[in-house]
Amino acid sequence: MSHRRTFDPREARSTPPVLDRPDRACNGSDVDFHPEHASGYAAAVAVCRTCPVKADCLAWALETRQSFGVLGGTTPDQRHAMIKNAREDAA
């Protein structure tokens, strides 16, 4: 019998250092930044638009290759494209 652990993307990697910042836009928000479906990304991205620490959050997400959730105002697909483009530009 297999005892596979249920995957929770919020536990997948370390947490963003910006979570310590009380001025972050997501602080106290009831928006889901790790929705089960991409259709839930719009609300989280809208919150990020006004965030004073958005750039730091995005930098962490790119550096740690976060592949789930909205971070720094970007979706996983957007971050994947940024990483891919950066690799191509470096080549």
pLDDT digits (tens, 9 = 90+) for 59-74: 999 998 888 899 999 9
pLDDT digits (tens, 9 = 90+) for 25-45: 999 999 999 998 888 999 999
Question: How many CB atoms sit inside 10 A of residue 66's CB?
Answer: 22
Three-class SS state of 84:
helix
pTM for this entry:
0.78
Evaluate if residue 13 carries a pLDDT over 80: no
Evaluate if residue 6 carries a pLDDT over 70: no
> What percent of the chain lies above the pLDDT cut of 90?
54
